[in-house]
Structure formats: C-alpha cells, structure tokens
A = this chain, B = another copy of it.
C-alpha cells in the first residue's frame, strides 16, 4: 500500500518548507513520493546494523532511537528521532548500515524507496540540498552529544539533553510552551548519555529537587526555561533551526 499524505500532514514537506519556499513542481514531486506507511509497535527494530536497506524511513509519529552495540553488549543510543526525521537517510549513499534503529514508542513510519529519493534529488537540486542538509544537522547533533558525553558532567549533560529534546519537539509542533511528552525511559536516557540507569535516576531527582524540571508520567515540564538552559549550558545554535523556535 503506497499512500499519499496531504502536504500539511507530511512532516518532511513541512521541514523543507521551513528552509525554502517550495515551487509547485517541487511540492508536487514531494507529495507524489511513493511511501509505504507502516505502524510499528513499541521496542521493535526498524532496521539493524549490517542491513542494506533499499528504502529510508520517515518518522510520521512516535519516537525512535538510533543505536550501536559494543562487542561487550553495551548499547549507546546516538540519537533520538522524532516525527519529520529520516534516521536512515544515510543508507541512500552508504551501502551497509553501521547502526540499528528501534522504536521507543508505537510509531507510524513511511518507507520511501531509495530509487524515488535518488530520482527526486536528481530532478530537484534544492530538495537534494535540503536532504543533505538534514543529514548534516544530524551530524551536528552527534558532535554536540559527543561533547556532552566526553566533557560535561552528568547533571549538565542531562539538562542539556532535555533542552535539546524540548527545542526539537517545539520545532515540529509537538511541544507546548514549556512541556512535552517524552516516551523515553530512564534506561534509554542512560544509554544515550553514557551513564547508568541508577545515576540518571539520581541526577533526575536532583534536577527535580532544584526545580529545573517536573514530570508526571511521560510528560516533561520545565518551570523555568532559562534556568534549565543555563544548567545545561544549552545553546541551540547547533540545531541549525531556521525559525526562532529555539528562543521560545
């Protein structure tokens, strides 16, 4: 089943629109991108390390993570993916995946054949640049995470990640002014932060005690955005957002 989404429902189109104004041709081509939509349960691998997929997946709803596993079986989550992301777009140019992607919540994803992506890139250079740009932003986020994991202590590191997630969620319209839904367990946070669950738990308690965050269930609330940004040494520049979603 290859479905077409209204462009307002297609987070890829919305994302490209935030970078430049689409021509009618470009928009039509994007709307006609073949996309096989799948609903995937919690905690399922979408792709695995070593795979050579012939399509890339656009997250339509839900959360996924990109991860690697060491020889000793330890997992490092290298990114959280939210609606609008294409976490395995790299497979368009790299034959073998060097990471897995797994759902953190029930997801709707759209699989787009590489053939179709190559075709649209060849025909519409601005779309090609836009997609390239998305992969460059992923890399920028990797750099920031590396800096956090390597050089920021746990308290700052966690505050920083929470800032990033909130800003990215805002940018795709999935967060209110100062809160959003994050279906991420403390174990998953710890794998993303290079810490243990126990330590993440203790630091989260400290963040709560310091009034920087509140949480009920999966809902994260930030009573004082400036204070959290400060605590996390957070500067959203590396996210390369076009609009000033970041400031809010």
Check if B142 sits within 8 Å of A146, measured CB to CB: yes
| Interface presence of A72 (CB below 8 A) | yes
Binding site secondary structure of chain A: helix
Q: What size tier do the contact residues of chain A reach?
A: 35 or more
Check if B70 sits within 8 Å of A139, measured CB to CB: no
**Which residues of chain B come closer than 8 Å to A146, judged between CB atoms?**
68, 76, 78, 142, 145-146, 149, 194
A133 vs B233: C-alpha distance in the bound complex, in angstroms?
Answer: 32
Known: A140-B90, A233-B71. A150 touches B76 (CB 8 A): yes
Q: Which of A94-102, A164-172, A199-207 contacts B (4 or more CB under 8 A)?
A: A94-102
Check if B139 sits within 8 Å of A135, measured CB to CB: yes
Q: Mark A144-158, 1 if CB is under 8 A from B, else 0.
A: 111101111000000
Using CB atoms and an 8 Å cutoff, list the residues of chain A in contact with chain B.
50, 66, 68, 70-72, 74-76, 78, 90, 93-96, 98-99, 121-122, 125, 128-129, 132-133, 135-140, 142-147, 149-152, 193-194, 233, 237-238, 240
